[in-house]
Amino acid sequence: MLRRGGGELNCSVGDAAGNRPNPAGAIIEAEGVAVMKSRQGYKGYVIEPRSYQQQDGGFSAELWIEEHDASGVTETQFYLPGTSPTQELAIEAAVQAGRQKIDVGFERGSVAVNG
């Protein structure tokens, strides 16, 4: 479980003209591994799905569900089993799994292997 709080976080995204990047997601490359991540709100939570390219060419996915309250942010992480043929399908699977977890309830602050 990760909790952040007790301070104020400010973030400004965009250039000097006020143009904002594509909100659908970002591709991050670190140490030769491409990671796609995005964030979206759902029923008062924030779902942050991520996908990673596997050596066999498929894409695995995981997600974080954030719950914001007066004491800070609680993040719960889930790993999805299996792989998807494209990065976009892996992200969509993670978003759908996040929505399902929120709809049926989940144990906050845990790490789960099933999405």
* CATH code of 62's domain: 3.30.160
Domain that residue 101 falls in: 25-112
Contact 94, 50 (CB under 8 A): yes
Residue matched to tokens 């995005």: 38
Low-confidence ranges of the chain (pLDDT < 70): 1-35, 110-115
* pLDDT one-digit tens code per residue, 44-60: 999 999 999 998 889 99
Query: Is residue 51 one of the residues assigned to a domain?
Result: yes
Query: Is residue 6 one of the residues assigned to a domain?
Result: no
DSSP letters spanning 68-84: EETTEEEEEEEE--S-B
Query: Is residue 87 one of the residues assigned to a domain?
Result: yes
Query: Is residue 35 one of the residues assigned to a domain?
Result: yes
Q: What is the pTM of this model?
A: 0.67
Residue 109 DSSP code: T
